[in-house]
Amino acid sequence: MSDFRKLVFRIGFLFAIPWLLLIVVPVIRYQHVGPVAYDKDKDGMDGFYPPAPIHRQGQLVYAREGCVQCHTQMIRAANLGLDAWRKGWGQDQGERAADPVRSNTLRDYLGEPVAFLGIQRAGPDLANAGWRFADRNKLHLMLYAPRALTTWSTMPSFKHLYVVQKAQGQKSSKALDLPAKYAPAKGFEVVPSAEAEALVDYILSLKKDYPVPGLAAAKK
């Protein structure tokens, strides 16, 4: 073999090994991952992990609107970086699960055609955002006029997912409760479109911190 061929062969080999280890092997392993049943005695609960499928319709809106440009949905394990999960994080979330939050596992994304891990954290991680918005309207407000909630917010408004309509008779029960600065003209109201509703359903379904079978009991 000539030197040139050897070189090409070696370069190919050097690329093939990481490709196999970082792409092919994980993809094959992921295809064999399925839900796991909880053990009633050990875990203290029935059913399967992960228990609930994500809201697919809303996930499509999330993808189209590019939320993934600024938000991650991945809390790294404690040994994987400075911003990885630490004990006690997430305890300030509202009405949350009894079990402490944790870093994410592969199964948290089961059933999602694309896992929106994200590329950078310009905004907060949304892996468990479902716990933080007990109030649906607050989430709509966040999407319609982020600065109505946080004056310094750099999140763009997603106004185009909402409809400004003439208020007829009584105000619609879905109408956004907007502060004067963002309110529409008198006699008009802002209501979410079906896509905005689906997006909100999706965010509310993001609770990627279900107890992991076998680990829940170990912590107690």
Interface with ligand HEC (CB under 6 A): 62, 65-67, 69-71, 122-124, 129, 132, 142, 146, 150, 153-156, 158, 199, 203
* 163, amino acid identity: V
Q: How many CB atoms lie within 10 A of CB 107?
A: 19
Cβ nearer to ligand HEC, comparing 7 with 119: 119
Least Å distance between CB 155 and ligand HEC? 3
Q: Which is nearer to ligand HEC, 146 or 211 (CB)?
A: 146
Q: Which is nearer to ligand HEC, 147 or 174 (CB)?
A: 147
If the CB atoms of residues 3 and 92 are measured against ligand HEC, the closer one turns out to be 92
| Shortest Cβ 51–ligand HEC spacing (Å) | 22
Q: What distances in angstroms separate CA 53 from CA 9, 18, 109, one per listed residue? A: 45, 32, 9
Residues 174 and 191: beta-carbon distance below 8 Å: yes
Closer to ligand HEC by CB, 191 or 204: give it. Answer: 204
Task: Say how far apart CA 55 and CA 113 lie, in whole Å.
Answer: 12
Q: How far is the CB of 46 from ligand HEC (least distance, A)?
A: 30
- How far, in whole angstroms, is CA 215 from its chain's centroid? 22
For 42, 44, 75, 85, 211, the CA distances from 218, given in Å and listed in that order, are: 9, 11, 21, 18, 11
Query: What are all long-range contacts of 88-91, with beta carbons under 8 Å and residues at least 24 apart?
Result: 90/128, 90/209
